[in-house]
Amino acid sequence: MFDFIDGVPMHPLFLHAPIVLIPITALLTLAFLVPRWRWALRWPIAILAVLAAGATYATVKSGEELKSNLELGGEIAAAIDAHETWGDRLLYATIVMAVLAVVAAIVVTRTAGVAATVVAVLLAISGITAAWLTYETGDRGSRAVWCATGLAAGETDSLEECLRT
């Protein structure tokens, strides 16, 4: 289901959605810390966070399908495994962010007190965490792809050295 579209792997197509949605949502979670902006931002953040979680799920699943279709070994397999581990962490973080965003939207609709502030702080922390995990996951994935490509093209001498830099 999440493997190929017209012979093109879906993973490199899907991964662009979380890369865009998560940082935008994270920035909005920081803006949500401002009490007077909460009312206007409550549902846009909730919608974006749920979309980000869904896009991350599709990206993780398509990555698993791609990995199962490739016969990898050695250092590149270890690099892909590390990327996969970070992708799983990112999925959990985006689910937490989505749940907190929906809770925040409901809480802000009903109250403007301490509960709204606590949820706003938790939401901002989840947004920052998701953005950081997006960077880490993407960095590991892109290094695995581009270092292997560089090695195959003769542009780098050592896959291990390329993965570390």
3-state SS assignment for residue 7: coil
Average pLDDT over residues 29-50: 98
Q: Is the dihedral of CA 125, 127, 128, 132 positive or negative?
A: positive
- The pLDDT, as a whole number, for residue 152 is 64
Report the distance separating Cα 79 and Cα 121, nearest Å. 34
- The pLDDT, as a whole number, for residue 165 is 64
Q: What is the value of pTM for the model shown?
A: 0.90
114-161 pLDDT, tens digit per residue, is 999 999 999 999 999 999 999 999 999 998 888 877 766 677 767 677
State the virtual CA torsion across 117, 118, 122, 124 in degrees, nearest 10.
Answer: 10
Question: What angle do the packed helices 16-31 and 74-110 form, to 10 degrees?
Answer: 40
State the virtual CA torsion across 11, 16, 17, 23 in degrees, nearest 10.
Answer: 130
- The pLDDT, as a whole number, for residue 32 is 98
Q: pLDDT band for position 92 (50/70/90)?
A: very high
Report the distance separating Cα 159 and Cα 148, nearest Å. 7
Give the CA angle between residues 116, 122, 124 to the nearest 5°.
100
